[in-house]
Amino acid sequence: MARKYFGTDGMRGRVGVEPMTAATVMKLGWAAGKVLASQGNREVLIGKDTRVSGYLFESALEAGLSSAGINIKILGPMPTPAVAYLTRTFRAAAGIVISASHNPFYDNGVKFFSAEGTKLPDSVELEIEAAMDQEITTVDSAELGRAHRIADAAGRYIEFCKSTFPSGQRLDGMKIVVDSAHGAAYHIARGVFEELGATVVSVGAEPDGLNINRDCGATSPDHLRAHVLLEKADVGVALDGDADRLIMIDHTGEVVNGDELLYVLVKARIDANEMSGGVAGTLMSNLGLEHALRDLDVEFARANVGDRYVLELLRERNWKIGGESSGHIICLDRTTTGDGLVAALQILAQIRLSGESLAQLRSGMTQYPQVLVNVPMKIRQDLSESEQVQEVVQSAERELGDSGRVLLRPSGTEPVVRVMVEGKVANDVETICHRLADSVSRIIG
């Protein structure tokens, strides 16, 4: 069934433009409240990141939920994975996050977690969508929902994060630079690492409502890189605006992306005899990760791009570890969703337990050169049905052999098809990618 409001991860858009208006978000709160109330549990949590529009949408959601008879626990600025965790601990019907993740401040969004701290089932999302087209009604005054603020939410989440770090281990003697992207973890990230004994230099922790993700955090790691080198730190930790992404910097200043972090995590699980099943990546995961995991005798499978699809693949195969190159790292043996802080603690634990630096730990995986070219597409079409396109793709694949791969992926947001080629030799990859892009452009006109 086609979605009218929800995308792959809730509802998102430019503030003030449908659907991200106060009226529509209030209607969303009412619709969600109506569906949840029919299931019996009338408790919902609301967390947000640091965008100035969070105040607007928090109030709108509160009004809608209250009118449906739902009680609200207000968490204030809180990482997305923290809302997932706290929804479970409070035994709430759902958790709601007001955030546009890594997007600029002028975007915002609303996404939901179930009582189990996972994405809402499709069936529930469809019920909410159906309710959005109904007229708002208000329960009797005596049944209106009440709202109150949870004062110790940050402390509860810090303790949870620490509980995922090996018992008895500490980070004494380690210097860490943490970049919170002026986002939801600005008041939390430092405490997580300091309470485990690390010396922490905190940057990107002065949100003003407008600077979230601006030239900092996981989407702009050069900011962190400069501080790691300046401070002569052991490692750098970069989160995004809602703290569900993680990118790291090693002591030499090199960026360690999500694929490399997944490799380090898998190696750590193997060393601890905790590895079970395979690893889920995406269509964009580097071929070097697939080959490195093959050398470890670990199965690897690709999902569509998006952490929602990685989670679906993990549950389908009953696997525990997955993620994206962009830094969404999912450890289902530690928590229920992607969590930048929890993932960082798993990497730091391996650094401490192995006695090796992050630079040494990542060296077991070689990232292959990857070239991406966007080809304009006037009319959206399924290129898998074009014999001409498939012929030029197969020709490129034959030229690369087992040491490379080709991916054609229509953009979900732009009128382009993304042509990606990766392989062991950078010059060959670039030549083949541009030749393939030119051929695809000619074929599709």
* pLDDT tens digits for range 367-394: 999 999 999 988 777 788 889 999 999 9
pLDDT of residue 7: 81
Question: Using CA atoms, how far apart are residues 285 and 153, in angstroms rounded to an integer?
Answer: 34
Active site residue 101: yes
Question: Using CA atoms, how far apart are residues 238 and 257, in angstroms rounded to an integer?
Answer: 10
pLDDT of residue 414: 75
Sign of CA dihedral 349, 350, 353, 356: negative
Catalytic residue among 53, 99, 101, 325: 101
**Cβ neighbourhood burial of 302 (10 Å; 0-12, 13-18, 19+):** middle
Specify the CATH number of the domain 163-362: 3.40.120.10
pLDDT of residue 28: 98
Could you name the CATH architecture of 11-151? Answer: 3-Layer(aba) Sandwich (3.40)
Contact present, 220 and 78 (Cβ < 8 Å)? no
Question: Using CA atoms, how far apart are residues 153 and 159, in angstroms rounded to an integer?
Answer: 10
Nearest to 59 by CA among 68, 46, 49: 46
Question: Using CA atoms, how far apart are residues 110 and 127, in angstroms rounded to an integer?
Answer: 16
User: What are the two backbone dihedrals, phi and then psi, of residue 172, each rounded to the nearest 5 degrees?
Assistant: -55, 135
Q: Where are the alpha helices (DSSP H) in 195-333?
A: 222-231, 258-271, 287-295, 307-317
Q: Do domains 11-151 and 163-362 have the same CATH topology?
A: yes
Contact present, 307 and 315 (Cβ < 8 Å)? no
pLDDT of residue 444: 86
The residues of the chain scoring below 50 in pLDDT are none
CATH class of 370-444: alpha beta
pLDDT of residue 333: 95
pLDDT of residue 2: 64
Domain ranges of the chain: 11-151, 163-362, 370-444
